[in-house]
């Protein structure tokens, strides 16, 4: 009896990898309150986009901003998990790594807020 796993087709390998990625997103949104807050903000921004009937280019800018923030949040979470694994007790370098990763999420969020303001503030002002 062989202990070697059966060889997968390329398509089956892609499906398995996709499943791991989906599991990663599930872990992100189940375990991280800030990721859930970003998800709520995403829903609100999308609703506002439909309400104000933004252009395709504006949708592209918002999609990029949403993707940037989501990616930063996921990488921050991954780094925090890894730092906790390799340094279960407090270590100043682990703390710095976590702070820098959190700063990256903050920077992405500020950029997304600026993009949102550029798109929505003129529409809101015109409606008033």
Rounded Cα gap, residues 69 and 74, in angstroms: 9
- Percent composition of the chain: helix, strand, coil (DSSP 3-state, to 5): 85, 0, 15
Residue 127 tokens, joined: 């409606």
Rounded Cα gap, residues 94 and 87, in angstroms: 7
- Residue tagged active-site, from 49, 62, 73, 119: 73
Active site residue 80: no
Catalytic site positions: 73
């Amino acid at each position: 009896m062989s202990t070697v796993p059966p060889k997968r087709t390329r398509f089956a390998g892609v499906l398995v990898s996709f499943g791991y990625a989906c599991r990663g997103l599930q872990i992100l949104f189940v375990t991280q309150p800030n990721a859930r807050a970003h998800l709520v903000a995403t829903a609100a921004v999308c609703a506002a986009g439909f309400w104000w009937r933004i252009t395709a280019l504006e949708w592209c800018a918002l999609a990029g901003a949403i993707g940037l923030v989501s990616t930063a949040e996921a990488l921050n979470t991954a780094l925090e998990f890894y730092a906790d694994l390799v340094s279960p007790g407090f270590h100043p370098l682990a703390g710095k790594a976590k702070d820098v990763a959190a700063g990256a999420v903050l920077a992405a969020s500020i950029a997304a807020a600026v993009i949102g303001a550029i798109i929505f503030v003129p529409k809101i002002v015109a409606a008033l």
